[in-house]
Structure 1
Amino acid sequence: MPNNKRSKKHKRKNHCDKNNDSTGNLADLSSNEDDINIMNEDFEKLKLQVDKPYQVKYSEIYGRYLVTSRDLKKGEILIETDALVIGPCAESLPICLGCYVDLVIVPRKYQCPDCGWILCQQNCPGIHTQYGHTVWECQSFKEHKLASLLLKCDEKDIRFMYEAILTLRCLLLKQFNHEKWTKINEMESHNKLRRNMPSLWNRNQELIVDRIRHQWGYNQYTEEEIHTICGILEVNSFEVGSNGFRARALFPEAYLICHDCQPNTTHTDDPLTHKLHLRSTVPLKKGETITLSYSYTLQGTLKRRDHLHESKFFWCTCNRCRDPTELGTHASTLICPKCTNGFILSTDSLNQNAEWKCKKCNYKVSGKSILILLDRLFDELEVLDPNSIKDYEEYLKRYANVLHQNHYLMLSVKHSLCQLIGRSDGFLINELNLSQLERKEQYCRDLLAVVDVFEPGMSRLRGIICYELHAAMMMRITREFERKTINDNQLRRTLREIVKLLQEANEILKIEPVGSSEYSMALAAQDALKKMGNI
């Protein structure tokens, strides 16, 4: 995700200084057809500029950032833009450089007949296209014999080789697409900050800079240029892809969006066109700062801020980070071991080393001890069988007296359970007993209550939870109706709630890319609404 722009000093280009002496008189216009076409193109560009729902602002704290230029409804598109460049993620598994499908799952590989690089198939739709294995990339790989180097790599080095590909693609734009190269170099690299992080800087020097210049032979690029591109990618790239492919990309304009741990926008990327679509998730007033979360919203403040500092090079000070209760959700709160019913909170949530204290009995814990505990509980969670409902539910019981029910580790477990219960072998939705349905419903409600605060409005996660909650409720009342344990009023009230959940799930998820699991949920929600009719 892009970075919070705290040190940007770039100036905007003036796109509207042509024809300043024009009188606006029709008689002054040339009758030349080419001139008319150029005028029409300029008009369309000007119209697009005027109609943009955002404008660029500048501050000493944030640098350049985006605000709304008019009032917006929830779900309105703010930015729709093509990628500047796409390529493998950091430490990527081998993927097709044409379509980005995971090569591990491809039964038979195909070698490009020109450069010899391994692709997914002869008819890969990304061969010799601007967002895939371009003609100039193919020629360059052939000249530098990169495919032969790939064959000599061990499994670990292959990952680093793929990681360096996107950096090289950016560098090749300097020669083959200067307009894109210029736009990319307008982005922040935070070189000064990154130089003071030896582990990161030295890693890039060894695995990317030296690889591109010496091992691959692209010594026309300076070390500074390559480090700058590394920084631009680390700070500004978006993860893209779904259903079998994963990559990262740079987009114009979108990189100027500020971070907030309670964002007011969401984004999708089209796997076919590689366009980025950024939408408002809630109504926005004119002049509001447009925000996006660069971190996982269902993460506690300590870990979230640490991630942002390590990956985006700033300490977040948003309203959520300032509040030890995380806007009243208690997503980082621990249960006091001394008085057993008090809440332990950070005494200063903007200080990673601050002491933690029980609000009831004043029992104190050092910040270091809290981090050790969180790491231990996270490690324990990571080794659980990801498909075991039993293991996850035992984790919830085991730490019910240690972690608040809304603690981010508990939410992570509940998130998994929301999707496992009703979709796993032996636990399909129509196989669940009443107790299991009630538990699934409660997990969904617990999760939704927190997500409503962290990702209000039309967020993808809210849409998914709404759909999962409706499924549990529908099957529950079916069971209760069969047992005659629900009266007519309860039935109607529950059905009305189910309809609202389906409507919300459909509204949110229908904008997801066609073919994605989320889009399939939207179609299922639409179908369910049709079957339910007017309730």
Structure 2
Amino acid sequence: MVGEKEVRAMCPVCSSAAVFRCTSCKEVSYCSKEHQKMDWKQHKNSCKAYEIRTSEKLGRYLVASRDLNPGDIVITETPLIWGPKALYDPERIAPCVGCYKPVNLDVGERCASCGWPICSGHCQGLKDHRHHGLECVVLSLRPGCAVSDMGDYYRHDALFALRCLISQTKFQKKYKKIMELQSHIEDRGPDTEIYRETDALIAKYLENNFLYPLRSVENELKTNLVPDISDDLIHKICGIIDVNALDVNLNNGCEISALYATACMMEHSCIPNTKHCFNLTSTDESSQYRIKVKAVVPIAKGENITTMYSHALWGTQARRDHLKETKYFSCFCKRCKDPTELGTYLSTMKCIGTGTEPCGGYQLPDDPCDDTSEWSCDKCPVSVKSSEISFLVSKLGEDVENIQIGRANIQQMENFLEKLSTFLHPHHYHVYSMKHSLVQLYGYQNGYLHHEMKLEDLEKKAIMCQELIDITTALDPGNSRLCLYTGVLFHELFQAKFEIMKRDVDSKKLVDKKENLKTLDELKDCLKKALYALEDELDGSSGQKLMVVMKASEDKFLKWIKEKQ
């Protein structure tokens, strides 16, 4: 919590000259790290960057307790509780219940007590009460192991709810904080689809296989491990998880879901003023999965502290539908209220016109915060119903997903992109998705390696990268949600421009020294921005892999400069 920056101040412990400054508030300084540790208990409450407030509309939410600058730490905390998420192929691969590594169910080991899939009998998480230690007692009440239908037999998504139930007696303080979180149980009644799904997949699964059998052996166990196993409580816990849990992507390819007492209170905005990352590499159990929330833009004292609970590259209708279905509220942020989405036109459609030829105009929603709003052309009188727009966008979205999953080649993707351009604005989010895939294929697919590409194709890649960077920057000015996208785009822009420069130098086109230096500065700037975008992503496997690629590009670039000097 301290940084070695010399300041003119006195240590509050001994009044000596202070050289260590609290990096949270930057207002209190200490003469040594030891004195900082001594004073921290007294200082930490006044040092908080946030205040908790309550309103009828938002419930509990956070506001800045002082002016915050980009980079200032807002929250650091460990999760109250966490649990594994089922993997994409639960019949073949499952997360170890002790450490969440992927386990091949055909050859993997099983827990000696409960039979659930594990990575090894030596896994430290098997005895750890924060992981598998306590739940194993309950899970072992079901005899036998599955040899088929394992995705139904081992419901890893139910373990999170079970761990919350067990915390009633073993982690009472944490359980109290968990139960204070919003559940929106009033929106999840017996007549809703989410209730029926939760009841079948989580509640009845836990009750019939584990919780009811637990009641019959509690005298033998000499403990009431789960005092309340009522339907109402299980559904409330599932609501709390659905509304508040954050997904943590682990380095091994698995995911866990975690609940955080304070971070869960951050209000949603489609233009968030914070970003967060997780501690995935610490061997210290006390900091495992610790979240760090920091400001990405200036936040004035009293201003709401916000994060984002949907995808920044979805259009307004998709984002608002997702929030209503999963978080039970409608968003009315600046981006949602702007038909152009901050000038990016991320949801905008092409107009079909009134005659045989398109009018060249674009259709935008009259009121983007009204799900039934008509879409009107900015050039002609044609308007389209919201339901028709939704149907077309949904169908095109399925086509985009299919062509990307199908590993289409560059020519196929270019042909499909041309098809999309018939219906969508050049900046529509489906077009963005296709272009982002293409810039990562140009230069790497056989026949399109950078040194093989035609000059006009390299220039096309550079233009496409810059176009996507402009959109990304407008949507995410603080580099909060689209760090990996931004890193990739600046790196690919560098690759295209570097190849163009190498050809210009080899052909003697770049003879003007000033022009040469300007181009070199542009390339250095691209690499700098690419590396900066990843600074908070290096705990994750994706960030680590990208950084290795970017560092290799930087080394080749510096080597080339040295050779040409």
Task: Give 1:371 deviation, angstroms.
Answer: 0.9
Partner Cα distance (2:97, 2:375) in 1: 48
Instruction: Please state if 1:332 is matched with 2:357.
Output: no
Question: Contact between 1:98 and 1:131, CA under 8 Å: does it hold in 2?
Answer: no
Partner of 1:264: 273
Partner Cα distance (2:153, 2:453) in 1: 45
Secondary structure, counterpart of 2:533 in structure 1 = helix
Task: Give 1:368 deviation, angstroms.
Answer: 1.0
CA-atom RMSD in angstroms: 2.8
Partner Cα distance (2:87, 2:111) in 1: 23
| C-alpha distance after superposition, 1:315-334 (max 9, x if no partner) | 11111111111111111111
- CA 525–121 in structure 1, closer or farther in 2 if over 3 Å, else same: same
Task: Give 1:424 deviation, angstroms.
Answer: 4.5
Partner of 1:345: 364
Q: Which amino acid aligns with 1:262?
A: I
In structure 2, list runs of 5 or more residues that go unmatched.
1-35, 216-227, 282-287
- CA 509–236 in structure 1, closer or farther in 2 if over 3 Å, else same: same
Secondary structure, counterpart of 2:312 in structure 1 = coil
| C-alpha distance after superposition, 1:429-470 (max 9, x if no partner) | 555443443333223212111111111123313233223322
Task: Give 1:217 deviation, angstroms.
Answer: 2.9
Task: Give 1:270 deviation, angstroms.
Answer: 2.2
Question: Contact between 2:316 and 2:347, CA under 8 Å: does it hold in 1?
Answer: yes
Task: Give 1:204 deviation, angstroms.
Answer: 0.7
Partner of 1:440: 461
Partner Cα distance (2:249, 2:68) in 1: 27
Partner Cα distance (2:191, 2:476) in 1: 32
- CA 427–184 in structure 1, closer or farther in 2 if over 3 Å, else same: farther
Question: Contact between 2:61 and 2:266, CA under 8 Å: does it hold in 1?
Answer: yes
Partner of 2:96: 96
Q: Which amino acid aligns with 1:393?
A: E
Question: Contact between 1:329 and 1:406, CA under 8 Å: does it hold in 2?
Answer: yes
Partner of 1:79: 75
Partner Cα distance (1:131, 1:490) in 2: 60
| Higher mean C-alpha displacement, 466-475 vs 124-133 | 124-133
Q: Which amino acid aligns with 2:460?
A: R
Instruction: Please state if 1:145 is matched with 2:137.
Output: no
| Aligned pairs for 1:383-394 within 5 A | 383-386=402-405, 387-388=407-408, 389-394=410-415
- Given candidates 58, 61, 69, the residue that maps to 1:65 is 61
Secondary structure, counterpart of 2:373 in structure 1 = coil
Partner of 2:236: 228
Secondary structure, counterpart of 1:262 in structure 2 = coil
| C-alpha distance after superposition, 1:205-239 (max 9, x if no partner) | 11111111123234641111100110001000111
Task: Give 1:352 deviation, angstroms.
Answer: 0.9
Partner of 2:128: 129
- CA 520–74 in structure 1, closer or farther in 2 if over 3 Å, else same: farther
Partner of 1:237: 245
| C-alpha distance after superposition, 1:474-518 (max 9, x if no partner) | 223223322334453443223212222222222331222346231
Task: Give 1:85 deviation, angstroms.
Answer: 1.7
Relative contact order, higher structure (CA 8 A, sep 6+) = 1
- CA 216–130 in structure 1, closer or farther in 2 if over 3 Å, else same: closer
Secondary structure, counterpart of 1:240 in structure 2 = strand
Instruction: Please state if 1:467 is matched with 2:494.
Output: no
Partner Cα distance (2:477, 2:307) in 1: 12
Secondary structure, counterpart of 2:247 in structure 1 = strand
| Higher mean C-alpha displacement, 210-219 vs 235-244 | 210-219
Partner Cα distance (2:240, 2:68) in 1: 30
Task: Give 1:173 deviation, angstroms.
Answer: 1.0
Secondary structure, counterpart of 2:292 in structure 1 = strand
Partner of 2:304: 289
Partner Cα distance (1:87, 1:427) in 2: 44
Question: Contact between 2:86 and 2:95, CA under 8 Å: does it hold in 1?
Answer: no
What is the percent sequence identity of the aligned residues?
Answer: 33
Secondary structure, counterpart of 1:340 in structure 2 = coil
Question: Contact between 1:308 and 1:316, CA under 8 Å: does it hold in 2?
Answer: yes
Partner of 1:18: none
Q: TM-score, normalised by structure 2?
A: 0.80
- Given candidates 325, 330, 342, the residue that maps to 1:310 is 325
Partner Cα distance (2:37, 2:310) in 1: 39
Instruction: Please state if 1:157 is matched with 2:131.
Output: no
In structure 1, list runs of 5 or more residues that go unmatched.
1-39
Question: Contact between 2:87 and 2:254, CA under 8 Å: does it hold in 1?
Answer: no
Instruction: Please state if 1:371 is matched with 2:355.
Output: no
Question: Contact between 2:78 and 2:260, CA under 8 Å: does it hold in 1?
Answer: yes
Partner Cα distance (1:222, 1:41) in 2: 45
- CA 351–514 in structure 1, closer or farther in 2 if over 3 Å, else same: closer
Instruction: Please state if 1:478 is matched with 2:502.
Output: yes
- CA 298–414 in structure 1, closer or farther in 2 if over 3 Å, else same: same
Q: Which amino acid aligns with 2:152?
A: D
Question: Contact between 2:280 and 2:540, CA under 8 Å: does it hold in 1?
Answer: no
- CA 431–181 in structure 1, closer or farther in 2 if over 3 Å, else same: farther
| Higher mean C-alpha displacement, 392-401 vs 357-366 | 392-401
Secondary structure, counterpart of 1:126 in structure 2 = helix
- Given candidates 371, 393, 401, the residue that maps to 2:422 is 401
Question: Contact between 2:138 and 2:210, CA under 8 Å: does it hold in 1?
Answer: no
- CA 430–157 in structure 1, closer or farther in 2 if over 3 Å, else same: farther
Question: Contact between 1:264 and 1:455, CA under 8 Å: does it hold in 2?
Answer: no
Secondary structure, counterpart of 1:379 in structure 2 = helix
- CA 452–192 in structure 1, closer or farther in 2 if over 3 Å, else same: same
Partner Cα distance (1:172, 1:248) in 2: 17
Instruction: Please state if 1:274 is matched with 2:289.
Output: yes
Q: Which amino acid aligns with 1:419?
A: Q
Partner of 2:17: none
Question: Contact between 1:333 and 1:345, CA under 8 Å: does it hold in 2?
Answer: yes
| C-alpha distance after superposition, 1:346-401 (max 9, x if no partner) | 11111111111101112111111111111111111121143323332222111213
Question: Contact between 1:511 and 1:519, CA under 8 Å: does it hold in 2?
Answer: no
Partner Cα distance (2:241, 2:470) in 1: 35
